[in-house]
Amino acid sequence: MKNLCVLILAAGKGTRMKSATPKVLHNILDRPVIDYVVSCVIDAGVSPEDVAVLVGAGGELVEEHLREKFPTELNILWQREQLGTGHAVKSAREWWSGYENLIVLNGDVPLIAPESLKSFIASFSNDCTVISFMADDPKQYGRIIRGSDSVSIVEFKDASEDQRKIREVNAGCYAFKVSSLEKVIDLIKNDNAQHEYYLPDALSLMNEQGLRTGAFIFSEEEMQGINNHAELAGATKVIRERIIAKWLDEGVRMIDPDSVYISPDARLSRGVVIMPNVQLWGETEIGEDAYIGSGSILTNAKIGRNVQIIAYAVIENSELKDSSKAGPFCYIREGSCLEQRAFAGKFVELKKSRIGENSKVPHLSYMGDATLGHDVNIGAGSITCNYDGVHKNKTFIGNNCFIGSDTMFVAPVELADGAATAAGSVITQAVPENSLGVGRARQTNIKDWSKKRLKQSKGEN
Ligand code: UD1
Ligand code: MG
């Protein structure tokens, strides 16, 4: 028989969120509530094959999400009807009955730290131990009733006035000896205010049978449940501050940490400087000594060493290699890359484009589906006309090309190494090596035109 398994309860409707999205899929920063709970259990050293998430309400969505994010060994079990937490645990009986010990964790308790869970597991010796905390405001949590050497729980809705005054509450995390749980699980009834099968009733039933129950007190900060949007916002604040503290400790500089948002999946290096109002989402990685200017929003961006993002850059699923530079006010979209020392400047949009080493797109340009070689200079206002209404077409610009301002590249089109374009050109054909492409009407000057216009406006002829 295996020693220990963890069952995470995530089948509830989450009525108090007033949302069609299942409660555990609501985001804290950019990861759903359930991810924090599952990650905590795995980080506490429990192998995913010994962990199960119980899904039910909106379960298809929760299952799909978990399958994508976590190892395939993670078990996903179903509670088809949501009749309460006691019923939830019973629904998974076939799975946990193969173990000696069972930890049950509510799926809406995302702030618990792996170290705390580890110490809880290590200290477990009763037939059931529940995690409790002393709440400043005990809200609707189940109240802990301490006997001389036992513990039971009364739900808020069933509690008397006096019991409601108790500040020690049930955190929704339990350790059971499976053989002891087996003795009471079928005895849990639903004769209570909510007509639900309450898991906390397992404790009083154990007490009646002379089994040992106890409570392990944790800090309030770690054990808050998420039942509504106010609690979700509160948990987001706590997790945001933990992440910020971790990166400050790792040698990242932020002059206004309170204005910075960093995903739990982002990775930063020492020497990085983060200016105010920066958001780093997804699996963004920032290399040593990079500077991320104010107002920049990066999602799944890979930023190399010494990169300078001046300010107000939006970068998605793209890479900026060492010593490249971007901004202010640029939008670097999916699949783009600034090679080393390349630059995308003011009011520049890139999409699926590679800007070669030392190449510059300094102002007011759109490069879509374009590949630029090294040492290219793109004049202000140049644009790849990459979309013909049906297909996206590619533009290739060779090494050392010099592009005059306001060039339109009507893709597909190719410029060989050393080519140049005249300002204002519409380039529809390939430009050979070292040649100048001129694609504009010749200028004609009309003599004395301005004088004539002036006369006309005064009514003279
Ligand atoms: C529960 C506890 C309460 C405790 C609080 C801590 C019960 C009866 N009450 O109350 O004592 O103080 O957590 O946060 O357990 N779920 C299922 N299937 C169901 C019902 C719920 O899987 O049929 C899951 C939910 O998805 C959730 C967890 O169990 O993750 C707890 O359910 P919730 O409705 O949030 O219980 P609370 O009212 O918070
Ligand atoms: Mg809850």
Cα distance between residue 6 and residue 110, in whole Å: 15
- Asked if 236 and 212 sit in the same domain, the reply is no
The last residue of one of the domains, among 218, 250, 285, is 218
Q: Is residue 456 part of a domain?
A: no
- Asked if 194 and 233 sit in the same domain, the reply is no
Q: Using most ligand atoms within 8 A of CB, pick from 41, 66, 76, 106 the residue to mutate for ligand 1.
A: 106
- Asked if 120 and 56 sit in the same domain, the reply is yes
For the chain, the helix, strand and coil percentages under 3-state DSSP, each to the nearest 5: 25, 30, 45
The last residue of one of the domains, among 191, 218, 245, is 218
| Distance from Cα 148 to the centre of ligand 2, integer Å | 28
Q: Is residue 445 part of a domain?
A: no
| Distance from Cα 226 to the centre of ligand 2, integer Å | 6
Write out residues with Cβ below 6 Å of ligand 1: 9-12, 54, 56, 79, 82-85, 87-88, 106-109, 141-142, 153, 155, 169-172, 198-200, 225, 227
| Distance from Cα 67 to the centre of ligand 2, integer Å | 23
- Asked if 195 and 64 sit in the same domain, the reply is yes
- Asked if 212 and 233 sit in the same domain, the reply is no
| 93 DSSP 8-state letter | H
Instruction: Quote the domain boundaries for residue 315.
Output: 229-437
Q: Is residue 281 part of a domain?
A: yes
**Residue whose CA is closest, atom 13 of ligand 1?**
172
Neighbours of 256 (CB within 10 A): 12
| CATH number for 314 | 2.160.10.10
451 exposed, middle or buried (CB, 10 Å; 0-12, 13-18, 19+)? exposed
| CATH number for 135 | 3.90.550.10
pLDDT in tens, the chain (461 residues): 899 999 999 999 899 999 999 999 999 999 999 999 999 999 999 999 999 999 999 999 999 999 999 999 999 999 999 999 999 999 999 999 999 999 999 999 999 999 999 999 999 899 999 999 999 999 999 999 999 999 999 999 999 999 999 999 999 999 999 999 999 999 999 999 999 999 999 999 999 999 999 999 999 999 999 999 999 999 999 999 999 999 999 999 999 999 999 999 999 999 999 999 999 999 999 999 999 999 999 999 999 999 999 999 999 999 999 999 999 999 999 999 999 999 999 999 999 999 999 999 999 999 999 999 999 999 999 999 999 999 999 999 999 999 999 999 999 999 999 999 999 999 999 999 999 999 999 999 999 999 999 999 998 76
430 exposed, middle or buried (CB, 10 Å; 0-12, 13-18, 19+)? middle
Q: Is residue 452 part of a domain?
A: no
| Distance from Cα 169 to the centre of ligand 2, integer Å | 12
Q: Using most ligand atoms within 8 A of CB, pick from 21, 85, 189, 205 the residue to mutate for ligand 1.
A: 85
- The residue type found at 149 is D
Q: Which ligand is nearest to the CA of 54?
A: 1
| Distance from Cα 326 to the centre of ligand 1, integer Å | 48
CA distances from 41 to 35, 50, 110, 330, 372 (A): 10, 10, 11, 40, 47
The last residue of one of the domains, among 183, 218, 253, is 218
Residue 349 near residue 364 (C-beta atoms within 8 A) = no
Q: Is residue 447 part of a domain?
A: no
Q: How many structural domains does the chain have?
A: 2
pTM: 0.93
Measured from the CA of 54, which atom of ligand 1 is nearest?
A: 22
- What does 187-228 look like in DSSP terms, one character per residue? G----STT----TTHHHHHHHHTT--EEEEEE-HHHH----S
- The residue type found at 154 is V
- The residue type found at 202 is A
**Residue whose CA is closest, atom 10 of ligand 1?**
141
- Asked if 187 and 318 sit in the same domain, the reply is no
- Whether the link from the prior residue into 32 is cis, omega within 30° of 0, is no
Q: Which two tokens stand for residue 24?
A: 């555990």
Neighbours of 262 (CB within 10 A): 26
Cα distance between residue 121 and residue 98, in whole Å: 18
| Distance from Cα 198 to the centre of ligand 1, integer Å | 8
- Asked if 317 and 399 sit in the same domain, the reply is yes
Q: Has 363 been annotated as catalytic?
A: yes
- Asked if 22 and 61 sit in the same domain, the reply is yes
**Residue whose CA is closest, atom 28 of ligand 1?**
106
- Asked if 70 and 186 sit in the same domain, the reply is yes
- Asked if 213 and 241 sit in the same domain, the reply is no
Of 26, 87, 363, 374, the active-site residue reads 363
- Asked if 44 and 187 sit in the same domain, the reply is yes
**Residue whose CA is closest, atom 7 of ligand 1?**
198
Q: Which ligand is nearest to the CA of 23?
A: 1
- Asked if 180 and 243 sit in the same domain, the reply is no
- The residue type found at 12 is G
**Residue whose CA is closest, atom 33 of ligand 1?**
12
Which helix (DSSP H) or strand (DSSP E) does residue 91 occupy?
Answer: helix 85-91
